[in-house]
């Protein structure tokens, strides 16, 4: 139960749909309870997120490999980190122009994430949003640490390219 927020966050980004994410987390929770005796060691979060990831991949493959377009607003709503990214909060003296720029940046961050392939989006979410270690990510994804590091490096590069492309497009309008 402690890791349900992390599970839902991962599922929501991978599935690109809140209802599908809830369904996947439910299925993963039932599987985790069924196979609780297979948990080895003390890293329950990585173990559970690995189950969530596998359920997401199964669900995505059932969609014939096609990933639906992500509703960025729906993803941002309900996620405190993303909701506050670019919001002025209680910063005194923030003018409307700066607030508009911050909101544009938040939208561009989400659009850039949306453009990443699922495997790259996944590793970026686990590392940057869930703050998991390389070891934990390797356990979740069931890949060697070297694969995690190279995929994360590539994901950061692709994210940067997508983000810069979105910002350049904004300046040419």
Whether 65 has a pLDDT exceeding 50, the answer reads no
If you average pLDDT over every residue of the chain, what do you get? Answer: 77
Residue 165 binned pLDDT confidence (cut-offs 50, 70, 90) = confident
Whether 103 has a pLDDT exceeding 80, the answer reads no
CA 103 to CA 110: how far, in whole Å?
11
Q: Report the pLDDT value the prediction gives residue 133, as an integer from 0 to 100.
A: 92
Q: Report the pLDDT value the prediction gives residue 123, as an integer from 0 to 100.
A: 92
Phi, psi of 44 (to 5 degrees): -65, -35
Q: Report the pLDDT value the prediction gives residue 114, as an integer from 0 to 100.
A: 85
Q: Report the pLDDT value the prediction gives residue 16, as an integer from 0 to 100.
A: 81
For the stretch 106-136, pLDDT in tens is 777 888 888 899 889 999 988 988 888 999 9
In the chain, where the domains are located: 4-171
Look up the CATH number of domain 4-171: 1.10.10.10
Q: Report the pLDDT value the prediction gives residue 149, as an integer from 0 to 100.
A: 94
Q: What is the pTM of this model?
A: 0.61
Question: How many CB atoms are closer than 10 A to CB 33?
Answer: 8
Q: Are 100 and 65 in contact (CB under 8 A)?
A: no
Q: Report the pLDDT value the prediction gives residue 86, as an integer from 0 to 100.
A: 43
Q: Report the pLDDT value the prediction gives residue 144, as an integer from 0 to 100.
A: 95
């Amino acid at each position: 139960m402690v890791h349900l927020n992390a599970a839902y966050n991962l599922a929501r980004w991978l599935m690109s749909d809140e209802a599908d994410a809830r369904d996947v987390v439910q299925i993963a929770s039932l599987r985790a309870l069924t196979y609780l005796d297979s948990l080895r060691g003390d890293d329950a979060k990585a173990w559970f997120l690995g189950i969530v990831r596998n359920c997401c991949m199964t669900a995505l493959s059932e969609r014939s490999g096609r990933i639906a377009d992500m509703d960025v607003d729906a993803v941002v709503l309900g996620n405190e980190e993303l909701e506050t990214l670019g919001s002025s909060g209680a910063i005194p003296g923030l003018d409307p122009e700066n607030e508009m720029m911050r909101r544009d940046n938040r939208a561009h961050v989400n659009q850039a994430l949306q453009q990443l392939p699922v495997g790259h989006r996944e590793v970026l979410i686990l590392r940057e949003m869930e703050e998991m270690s390389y070891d934990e990510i390797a356990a979740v994804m069931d890949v060697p640490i070297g694969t995690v590091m190279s995929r994360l490096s590539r994901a950061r590069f692709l994210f940067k390219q997508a983000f810069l492309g979105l910002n350049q497009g904004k300046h040419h309008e």
